[in-house]
Structure 1
Amino acid sequence: MEHQVKEIMAYVFNMPVHKLKGELNTDTIDNWDSLSHLSLIVELESAFNITFTPQEIEDFKSLDKILSGIKDKISLRETNTES
C-alpha cells in the first residue's frame, strides 16, 4: 500500500517516485499546498474506495498519517463487511 500511495503522491505533486524519500510531509514537499492536498485526497479516496472526514483530511500532513488513516478505513470497512 505504501508504494501505491507514493505513486499517487508522485503523480499529484508532479515528481518522480524515487525522489519521495525520508520524512514526507507538507514541509518536505515543495508542491504540497492546499490545492494539491485536495487533489491528493481525491486520488487516494478513488484508489482505495474510501471516504475521509474533514478532520482526517486536515490531519493528513504526512505520509505516515495518510498510511495510518487508509489502514484504519480499510480495517473498518472489512470489519463492517464481516458483521
Structure 2
Amino acid sequence: MRVTEKGQVTIPKPIRDKLGIGPGSEVAFVDRGDNVVVLEARSGPASDSAPKSFEEWADSVAGTLDLGGMTTDEYMEWLRGPRDDLDSH
C-alpha cells in the first residue's frame, strides 16, 4: 500500500467490511512492537464499547497473537523458562 504525501492510505474493502468501517468511522492504530493493528474505534462512553463478558473480549482478540510458528507448549516454555520441577528423562 502506498502512503500519500498527506500520510493517508486506503484501507482495503475486505478489511473495512470485516471491521464495520464506513464513511465517517473512526479507527485506532495500536502499536504491538513489530506490528501495528488497526481497530475500529467505537464511539460513546468507555463502558459502552467495553466487552460485556470474558468470552466477548476473547472473541475480539482472537487471532491477534503471532507465536512465530511455536506450539503452545514451546511458547509457554519460552515465556516462563524451562521448568525445574520436571525430570529430563
- Which has more strand, going by share of residues? 2
Output the TM-score relative to the length of structure 2.
0.23
The structure in which a higher percent of residues are helix is: 1
TM-score scaled by length of structure 1: 0.24
Larger RCO, structures 1/2 (Cα 8 Å, 6+ apart): 1
